[in-house]
Amino acid sequence: MEEKKPLARLNHYFWKYRRLFVPGLLFAAISAAFSVAVPMMVRTAIDTIPRFVNLYNLYSGTAVQDYFYAQFFACLVFLGLIVILLSLLSGTCTFLMRQTIVVMSRHVEFDLRNQLYDHLQSLSRSFYVSTATGDLMTRATSDIEQVRRYIGPAMMYLARAFVFVVAALTAMIVISPRLTAFAVIPMPLLAISVFFMAKVVHSRSDALQNQYSTLTSRVQEALAGIRVLKAYTRENAEAEAFEQESAVYKDRMLDLARVEAGWRPIFLMLIGMSSVIVVWEGGRLAAEGAITIGNIAEYIIYVTMMTWPVASLGFVITMIQRASASMSRLCAILDTEPDIQNDANMDPSIKEIDGRIEFDNVGFKYSENGPWVLKDISFEAEAGSTLAIVGRTGSGKSTMVEMVARLLDPTEGVVRMDGINLKHISVNTLRTSIGYVPQDVFLFSDTVANNIAFGNLEATQEEIEQATKEAELLDNIADFPEGFETFVGERGITLSGGQKQRSSIARALIRRPSVLILDDALSAVDTNTESKILSHLRSQFGQRTIIIVSHRISAVQDADLILVLEEGRIIEKGNHDELLTIDGLYADLYKKQLLEAEIAELT
Ligand code: ATP
Ligand code: MG
């Protein structure tokens, strides 16, 4: 019973698509009814033969004999036509049944997939920290397919099998309860064996599927990282590893083929057993005159026709079990509430932000039992000022700026914007006011223009060009074969590291954000270009708050406030001159980089 719960969540789909589902069930019933009538015609035809033979012999030598012959012939042709007609009707109904129920299941699949994707879009960054992409892909493909099979094929088989078995059994019992009892002896055996067989087939095809995923993700990773692979001359090792995985895949495939091959003979044997029992017991009954020879033929056809519906029951049960397991996996995602969303205390009247940022004793952990990544962070940055964050790698800089965009919520303490707790500002307002350039650039496999316009879908060509100019990318784009319409390849593979970074900056600038966050976003450009970009940004001084995370002193020395992070704590705070007077980590870094620059100039 418990297993039914996740599937119960699909019930509203049966109602939503009732215009397809109800006719589908009706077609299933009618098609079954038509096929049940076929054996009756066969019986009538067979039983006509002895009667005709008697009459034919009785009138032997007279003209009436020819008349009977013609009559008999017409009768058989007539019955034959009816059988063809019944089969045609049954076939048409089967076609319509598939056209309705299978179509319905495709609609449900479409709905579910969209629902899942919508939901995935709404989930916060912390969800993706703990869930693998490959896992989500499986949910979106194979789990949804399992659920679809329950809605579509499983329901279809079930409806058809039910109507067929009930109708055929009724017809059989009316003729002879005793023979019916004998004829159906192998049926439960059949259902049970199919059930177990289906279990084995399914577990093996899952294993096959898993191996296929392993294989494809291996290939995907290897091809995506082909540069590294070649640089480290790992081609042969990779090819060998692939061959091994591929061999496992082949073995799994053969495992599956073996069961599938094995079960067909069992299936045929059980059908054969039924036929033998019918002939043996039916023959005795016919000899006693309890039934006719035609009835035996009729029975054999019923029994043969019944095997597939009965066998399908075994399949249907495993289909339902699997759909249930898949659905609960889907529900686990659908029921995950985004942990960053609009708060009950949210003030919807706030539509714009100025960009005064305040951290008040903020602490952060990625997981409950994890270490404190940030601790006791307090500072204030005025609207329109430039805030810089420096610190060794892993000191918590990226984590801190992600909190400003509310991609992460503080574990303790409060982050405020314009004096208001971030949680009380609508997520949408906050994010549309922020231009965030993450440390790891992500470009979509689209044109340069579209990648930049991603920051503001309503941007005009001029605005795109302006943003590109401010990001010092315009000259580069002019050299591209198709200018703004050049495709950047998968994740921007055809661009240089610095070009990718600057595209990403242009994408943020085009939003004309109140707060601009550059998380190490100038690391791949030379100092010359860096200072050009920064001076463009400074030309709009006072209009927007800029947060710069960098390892380079040259990028941060003009900031109004510089925070020096060390192991998640602020160890130094002030402007360039103040920090030099303190003579701590910042001064240290400055001296080293100054020295490096001098050496670089000398050589
Ligand atoms: P870098 O200069 O290398 O970019 P950073 O100062 O930006 O470093 P963060 O990315 O903020 O450093 O990481 C701070 C700490 O948090 C690191 O110790 C890191 O290992 C840890 N960390 C980062 N992301 C996660 C995550 N998703 N789950 C758990 N720990 C994380
Ligand atoms: Mg970082």
- Using one digit for the tens of pLDDT, what is the confidence trace for 279-315? 999 999 999 988 888 999 998 899 888 888 888 888 8
Ligand nearest to the CA of 397: 1
Tell me whether strands 515-519 and 434-437 are parallel, antiparallel or unpaired: parallel
For residue 440, the CA-to-ligand 2 centroid distance in Å is 9
**pLDDT at residue number 55:** 82
**pLDDT at residue number 520:** 92
**pLDDT at residue number 273:** 86
Calculate helix-pair angle for 293-334, 235-287, nearest 10 degrees: 150
Ligand 1 atom closest to the Cα of residue 565 is: 6
Say if residues 507 and 455 touch (Cβ distance below 8 Å): yes
Give the integer Cα–Cα distance in Å for 465 and 459.
Answer: 10
For residue 395, the CA-to-ligand 2 centroid distance in Å is 8
pTM for the full predicted model: 0.77
Count of residues making up the chain: 603
Which residue CA neighbors atom 29 of ligand 1 most closely?
A: 366
**How confident is the model over 404-412, as a mean pLDDT?**
92
Q: Which range, of 207-211, 361-365, 421-425, averages the lowest pLDDT?
A: 207-211
Say if residues 468 and 452 touch (Cβ distance below 8 Å): yes
Using the predicted structure, report yes or no on whether residue 174 has a pLDDT greater than 70.
yes
Which residue CA neighbors atom 10 of ligand 1 most closely?
A: 398
Ligand 1 environment, Cβ below 6 A: 129, 366, 373, 391, 393-399, 439, 520
**Measured CA angle at 204 (ends 199, 209), to 5 deg:** 125
**How confident is the model over 52-56, as a mean pLDDT?**
83
Which residue CA neighbors atom 9 of ligand 1 most closely?
A: 396
Ligand nearest to the CA of 399: 1
Ligand nearest to the CA of 438: 2
**How confident is the model over 387-411, as a mean pLDDT?**
93
For residue 393, the CA-to-ligand 1 centroid distance in Å is 8
For residue 398, the CA-to-ligand 1 centroid distance in Å is 7
Ligand 1 pocket mutation, candidates 129, 362, 375, 397, criterion most atoms within 8 A of CB: 397
**How confident is the model over 88-100, as a mean pLDDT?**
93
**How confident is the model over 354-369, as a mean pLDDT?**
92
In the chain, the percentage of residues whose pLDDT exceeds 70 is: 99
**Span 98-157, pLDDT tens digits:** 999 999 999 999 999 999 999 998 888 888 877 777 778 878 888 899 999 999 999 988
**pLDDT at residue number 342:** 81
Q: Cα torsion at 103, 106, 111, 117 (round to 10°)?
A: -160
Which residue CA neighbors atom 19 of ligand 1 most closely?
A: 394
Domains of the chain: 11-334 (1.20.1560.10), 349-433+516-603 (3.40.50.300), 438-512 (3.40.50.300)
Using the predicted structure, report yes or no on whether residue 470 has a pLDDT greater than 50.
yes
Which residue CA neighbors atom 16 of ligand 1 most closely?
A: 373
**How confident is the model over 330-347, as a mean pLDDT?**
84
- Which residues have a Cβ under 8 Å from the Cβ of 146 and sit 6 or more positions away? 319, 322, 323, 325, 326, 327
Ligand 1 atom closest to the Cα of residue 391 is: 6
For residue 503, the CA-to-ligand 1 centroid distance in Å is 24
How many angstroms separate the Cα of 153 from the Cα of each of 6, 35, 92?
A: 18, 19, 17
Order of strands, sheet of 561-566, starting from the edge strand that comes earlier in the sequence: 434-437, 515-519, 545-549, 386-391, 561-566, 569-574
Q: Which range, of 150-154, 459-463, 596-600, averages the lowest pLDDT?
A: 596-600
For residue 113, the CA-to-ligand 1 centroid distance in Å is 33
**How confident is the model over 44-72, as a mean pLDDT?**
84
Using the predicted structure, report yes or no on whether residue 1 has a pLDDT greater than 70.
no
> Phi and psi dihedrals of 519, rounded to 5?
-90, 95
Calculate helix-pair angle for 155-175, 293-334, nearest 10 degrees: 160
Ligand 1 pocket mutation, candidates 399, 517, 564, criterion most atoms within 8 A of CB: 399
Ligand 1 atom closest to the Cα of residue 395 is: 6
Name the CA radius of gyration of the chain, rounded: 37
Using the predicted structure, report yes or no on whether residue 45 has a pLDDT greater than 70.
yes
Using the predicted structure, report yes or no on whether residue 575 has a pLDDT greater than 80.
yes
- Which residues have a Cβ under 8 Å from the Cβ of 186 and sit 6 or more positions away? 270, 271, 273, 274, 277
Task: State both tokens at 549.
Answer: 């995370």
How many angstroms separate the Cα of 494 from the Cα of each of 445, 534, 539?
A: 10, 25, 31
**Span 24-39, pLDDT tens digits:** 999 998 998 898 899 9
**How confident is the model over 56-69, as a mean pLDDT?**
82
Q: What is the mean pLDDT of the chain?
A: 89
For residue 579, the CA-to-ligand 1 centroid distance in Å is 25
DSSP element (H, E) containing 517: strand 515-519
**pLDDT at residue number 545:** 93
**pLDDT at residue number 578:** 93
**How confident is the model over 53-73, as a mean pLDDT?**
83
Using the predicted structure, report yes or no on whether residue 583 has a pLDDT greater than 70.
yes
Using the predicted structure, report yes or no on whether residue 601 has a pLDDT greater than 80.
no
Tell me whether strands 545-549 and 386-391 are parallel, antiparallel or unpaired: parallel
Ligand nearest to the CA of 519: 2
Which residue CA neighbors atom 3 of ligand 1 most closely?
A: 393
Using the predicted structure, report yes or no on whether residue 3 has a pLDDT greater than 50.
no
**pLDDT at residue number 189:** 85
Ligand 1 atom closest to the Cα of residue 397 is: 6
Give the integer Cα–Cα distance in Å for 393 and 386.
Answer: 21
Task: State both tokens at 503.
Answer: 């595209």
Ligand nearest to the CA of 564: 1
**How confident is the model over 254-263, as a mean pLDDT?**
86
**pLDDT at residue number 339:** 80
Largest CA distance in the chain: 135
pLDDT band at 457 (very low <50, low <70, confident <90, very high): confident
Using the predicted structure, report yes or no on whether residue 96 has a pLDDT greater than 80.
yes
pLDDT band at 541 (very low <50, low <70, confident <90, very high): low
**pLDDT at residue number 2:** 43
